[in-house]
Structure 1
Amino acid sequence: MSKGVFFKTEADLCSAFVAALPAGWTAFNETAGFDILLVRADGLQIGVEAKLRLNPEVVVQASKEWGYAPLTPGPDFRAALVPAGHVQNHMSAICAMLGITVITAMHPDDDTEKRYGWRPPAFRPDLPSLDSRMYWSGREHDWYDRCPAARCVLPEYIPDVGAGHSAPVALTNWKIQAIKLLIILERRGYVTKADFKHVKIDPSRWTRDWLERGTERGQFVTGRYTPDLKAQHPVNWIQIEADFDKWKPVEVAA
């Protein structure tokens, strides 16, 4: 890597890595406790934690919850994503012992091709191939199958958030249920306890702090502290609203 070309933030690193993913892989950013949860077309998962250097912190993060409860859902593989040239040999050896793959990513503006006439891959090693029964690529033992009892639960929609930010915003299943509730509220002007039950969300916090009582008994309307999830997840809001006919309460007009 040439001097002066480097990733300034973990978010930049994650963004470049996701942009270089091959066909057949989907990135669920900030999902299941990982910076990126990669999902292959057949459902195979890789939990990825990113850092600007391969250090003990990212190793611990990538190892989260592994080994304590054998039935806990988790990804098939775990990986640490770091910039190319920022891998210490001893830390890399420790990762191999723990079954964590180290993915090294090139900066998109790296000028190796200009200087030497060839460009290295956007990242190494290759991801496990759907066309092969082997999980390693190039070198044996690049990938370490954890064979989880169950895979991580995915949200209904691909999160419209970036990965690797210091204060990440995650699209959880609770958020999706809350967005559905707010869409009903926006369309009808109020929600009732039946709506909370329909979208499977606990009404306690909403009716106590986030919504105000409407003019009719049993109705709740937008209040001063109602969460603005449309601003927080604009793309997912549009997607969920587009599916309104699939999940709406029967009494709500389209």
Structure 2
Amino acid sequence: MKAARSIKSVFENEAALCAAFIAALPEGWTAYPETAGFDILLVRADGAQIGVEAKMTLNAKVLLQSVDGMYSQWESEKAGPDWRAALVPYGTAGAEMQRIARHLGITVIECRAADEGDKEVERQVAMHGEFYRKFASRVCEPFKPELPSSDYPSWQREWVDHCPAERCKVPDYVPDVTAGASGPAKLSDWKVKAIKICVILKKRGWVAIADFKHIGIDRKRWLDMWWLQPREGMRGHFVAGRSPLDLRRQHPLNYAQIEADFEKWKPADAAPVAQEALL
């Protein structure tokens, strides 16, 4: 009987590929979707980072995205992750492109669809016999290679440490966005600050110039976009404008998290004394 060919993983799109990979992450790693210019920024418990770019096949485009900023003399001192990786479906990475990736210092991660590990185990057992099941279960992992760890020295064969001048800035909240999605709404540092202004506005009914200074965000854009308008009779105070900014709809989970942390970041004077407008 002719042996079955190795199963190639099939994903609907890059978002589904990223979701399967994130779901299979080992303990001690946190995935930050659409962060620091990567589809996924993985952060280990000790702060080590992996920048991951995902594509449906290993090609020149994903390799270029993975090394972005690494080799330019003007960008080499910018923040970056310790390791860089290209994430593709299992069985779709050609040997030639993998060798090129290796020369660039990019690790190729091949990820299986959720149920395909079990299918591959059964394929291996059918080929080699039931005694092979235990071994097949060990080699048919959700993705390969293993992520680098402080107590697993053999990872150095698969991962190139780029020793960045500084690591990527990690947001205070894990973005509630879809990794690998087309045109995702990113949770930028500006958006976190803007959500805080929205929370103050909701709780108090108005915001003051002092609130913008405390949060560290410019108020000019808020007035130009009519997100806010001057509060009648109160100098330096603002209320919701005719086109209020709705960040709760874009980031419902992050909005709720930031709102729940209000006591940690609120202005020292949560209700500053109003100043009457000059007549």
TM-score by length of 1: 0.93
Distance 1:85 1:153 in 2: 33
Question: Which deviates the most, 144-153 or 244-253?
Answer: 244-253
Structure with higher Rg: it is 2
Q: Number of paired residues?
A: 248
**113-122 vs 43-52, greater mean Cα deviation:** 113-122
**Deviation per CA, 1:75-119, whole angstroms, max 9, x where unpaired?**
000000000111111111110110000000011122223444444
Partner of 1:58: 62
Shift of residue 2, structure 1, vs aligned partner: 4.3
- What's 1:197 paired with? 213
In structure 1, the residue matched to 2:190 is 174
- Calculate the TM-score normalised by the size of structure 2: 0.85
The correspondence of residues 28-177 of structure 1 with structure 2, limited to 5 A, is: 28-68=32-72, 69-110=75-116, 111-117=119-125, 118-119=136-137, 120-133=140-153, 135-136=155-156, 140=157, 142-177=158-193
Alpha-carbon distance, 1:19 to partner: 0.3
Instruction: Write the letter of the residue equivalent to 1:95.
Output: A
- Identify, as 1 or 2, the structure richer in helix: 2
Gaps of 5+ in 2: 1-5, 126-135, 272-279
1:28-77 deviation per Cα after TM superposition (whole angstroms, max 9, x unaligned): 11000000000001000000000000011111110111122232100000
Conserved? CA contact 1:207–1:220, under 8 Å: no
Which of the residues 226, 240, 243 maps onto 2:258? 240
Q: Which residue of 2 aligns with 1:17?
A: 21
In structure 1, stretches of 5+ residues that fail to align are none
1:6 aligns with 2:10: yes
Residue 274 of structure 2 corresponds to which residue in structure 1? none
Q: Is the 8 A contact 2:34 2:177 kept in 1?
A: yes
1:128-155 Cα distance to aligned partner (Å, 9 max, x none): 013235543xxx2x10000001000111
Aligned residue for 2:114, secondary structure, equals: coil
Match of 2:231? Answer: 214
1:6–1:107: 8 Å Cα contact kept in structure 2? Answer: yes
% identity of equivalent residues: 52
Structure 1 vs Structure 2 CA RMSD: 1.6
